[in-house]
């Protein structure tokens, strides 16, 4: 069997990222492992396993790049919550041992697609008039569902349900579910609620007539101005995340969101 090719991806804009990158390099060298090193803006293909050092934003960017390749993505958290990461800097040595001993499992995460854009977390559509509500029409499989008078609309994957969608009042979804969720942002009606649909459905969002251009973003990192309908569907690409035992989704909810914990007990 061919030797696995490793890579270290780091974000030099995040505090301590270079230090952790240097520490990880030493760990791999001591174990006789060959690897490549690159900044988040210098990504290259040809790797089987990619250590990504940074917050969720760094991991999202690397995940989109390595989507549908044979590369496994493993996140090392230097951000805040770090939902996509598997270990902190303090746990790095233990994590490296587990990975080199193949003590991990793989989850393939569904992605969204709109034209040339893909997203692991979400697509967000907002009015070009900052601070103003707009009327957005939602169609599923070409049939109109409803109009939303809102600041915008989030189309989220299960992976992204703990991101912007959660802040906007959307549900928390187990990442392996085969669904998407449509979440209106600050809707101007009491009857507008998030909608969970199968990921096989085709979603169309368009603004009201004469509304002008509106803005579209992918994972909060890629932005464009849109003047026509936005047709969103499941991407044929998936992201393969390497996950450690004991880091299952419900543990992440409990440990990072303090799920079901009394505020008095949160430290």
Cα 179 to Cα 208: distance, rounded to the nearest angstrom? 27
Can 56 be counted among the known catalytic residues? Answer: yes
Q: Which of 41, 48, 56, 147 is catalytic?
A: 56
How many residues in total does the chain contain? 267
> 125 exposed, middle or buried (CB, 10 Å; 0-12, 13-18, 19+)?
buried
Which sign, positive or negative, has the C-alpha torsion 77, 249, 259, 221?
positive
Asked if residues 208 and 134 have their Cβ atoms less than 8 Å apart, the reply is: yes
> 101 exposed, middle or buried (CB, 10 Å; 0-12, 13-18, 19+)?
exposed
> 4 exposed, middle or buried (CB, 10 Å; 0-12, 13-18, 19+)?
middle
Q: How far is CA 194 from CA 78, 168, 253, in A?
A: 31, 9, 20
Cα 62 to Cα 80: distance, rounded to the nearest angstrom? 18
Cα 231 to Cα 220: distance, rounded to the nearest angstrom? 18
Cα 104 to Cα 95: distance, rounded to the nearest angstrom? 9
| Catalytically annotated residues | 56
């Amino acid at each position: 069997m061919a030797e696995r090719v490793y890579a270290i991806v780091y974000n030099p804009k995040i505090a301590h990222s270079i230090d952790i990158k240097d520490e990880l390099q030493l760990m791999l060298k001591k174990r006789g492992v060959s690897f490549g090193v690159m900044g988040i803006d210098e990504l290259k293909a040809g790797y089987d396993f990619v250590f990504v050092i940074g917050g969720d934003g760094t991991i999202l960017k690397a995940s989109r790049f390595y989507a549908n390749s044979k590369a496994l993505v493993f996140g090392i958290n230097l951000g805040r919550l770090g939902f996509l990461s598997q270990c902190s800097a303090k746990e790095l040595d233990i994590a490296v041992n587990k990975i080199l001993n193949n003590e991990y499992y793989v989850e393939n995460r569904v992605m969204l697609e709109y034209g040339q854009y893909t997203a692991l977390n979400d697509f967000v559509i907002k009015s070009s008039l900052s601070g103003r509500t707009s009327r957005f029409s939602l169609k599923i499989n070409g049939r109109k569902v409803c109009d939303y008078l809102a600041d915008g609309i989030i189309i989220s994957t299960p992976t992204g349900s703990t991101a912007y969608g959660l802040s906007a009042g959307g549900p928390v979804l187990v990442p392996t579910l085969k669904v998407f969720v449509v979440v209106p942002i600050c809707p101007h009606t009491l009857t507008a609620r998030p909608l969970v649909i199968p990921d096989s459905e085709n979603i169309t969002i368009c603004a009201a007539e004469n509304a002008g251009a509106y803005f579209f973003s992918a994972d909060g990192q890629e932005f464009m101005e849109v003047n026509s309908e936005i047709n969103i569907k499941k991407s044929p690409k998936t992201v393969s995340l390497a996950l450690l035992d004991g880091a299952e989704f419900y543990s992440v909810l409990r440990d990072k969101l303090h799920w079901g914990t009394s505020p008095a007990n949160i430290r």
